Amino acid sequence: MAEIPQGKTGSGSTMPVVRKIELNDVRAAFSAGIRDFLRAPLFGLFFGGFYALGGLLAVAFAVRLDMHYMIYPLAIGFPLVGPFVAVGLYEVSRCLQEGRTLTWAGVLTTVWRQKGRELSIMAFVTLFIMWMWMYQVRLLVALFLGFRSFSTFEGFINIVLGTGDGLRFLAAGHIVGAALYTVLFSVTIVSIPLLLDREVDFVTAIITSVKSVGSNPMVMLGWGLFVLLLTILALAPAFLGLAVVLPVLGHATWHLYQKVVEPVKK
């Protein structure tokens, strides 16, 4: 791994140093994520289960409001908030790495304390992009499908897959969704673990995150695609797969962050 020299932040402090990484670093991070999950499975299942439950409630809310056309976008878009939900998992990995005793009080207290730090601002960034995703879905429905009625989810799927307008809607939605996912991945993949780990402002964290992707485009975007595909597969069994997939990916992201960002010299 080679270091990429960085400049100074506006406040005069040194920007985090971004390294060049290779595919083997990503494999090692993923293996470390699996290992951390197996070492502390209850913590992983707790945060992963909370995430899966949130997805189920979001879909149930859409059904309750007879917004059946939002079920698929919600299921696909809900993982966008995953990086923020994984904060507790980053703390678990940090404790394991430092040899500290894992306690529920310690992990949950660390998560709770983030509400008064820069990390809380990243929650709004994540939710804003999620809101943009949901808004563009409604806009594309109006543009491509007009005033068609979707009384059931099956009816919506039949129109989307069985008509020319539906297929164009599906193509446009996935293109826009891919763009939003790439943006969110680029601004959060390093920034959220960095903000948990160090006292930096959220702008510095976002810049560092984007630089990490820009400096390692093939490796980082390949990881992002792997994360997306694995997450979509985990949605199949009624979101239940997320209870395992999220913690493994969360732990792996912590280790990937440590590989791509140079530690603070003491």
Query: Where is average pLDDT lowest: 30-39, 74-83, 193-202?
Result: 74-83
Helix (H) or strand (E) holding 18: strand 18-19
CB-based contact 150:181 (threshold 8 Å): no
Report the pLDDT averaged over residues 244-256.
94
- Averaged confidence pLDDT in the chain: 85
For residue 8, what pLDDT is reported? Answer: 47
Q: Amino acid letter at 39?
A: R
Report the pLDDT averaged over residues 225-245.
85
For residue 204, what pLDDT is reported? Answer: 95
pLDDT tens string 42-97: 999 999 888 888 778 877 877 777 776 677 677 666 666 667 778 999 999 999 99
pTM of the predicted protein model: 0.85
Query: Maximum Cα–Cα distance for the chain, whole Å?
Result: 63
For residue 123, what pLDDT is reported? Answer: 79
Q: Alpha helices of the chain — where are they, by DSSP H?
A: 23-39, 41-64, 71-77, 82-85, 87-98, 104-113, 119-140, 153-162, 164-188, 191-197, 202-215, 217-235, 242-260
pLDDT tens string 136-170: 888 888 888 886 666 677 777 888 888 888 899 88
Residues 6+ apart with CB under 8 A from 151: 66, 68
Q: Give the whole-angstrom CA distance, residue 135 versus residue 224.
A: 23
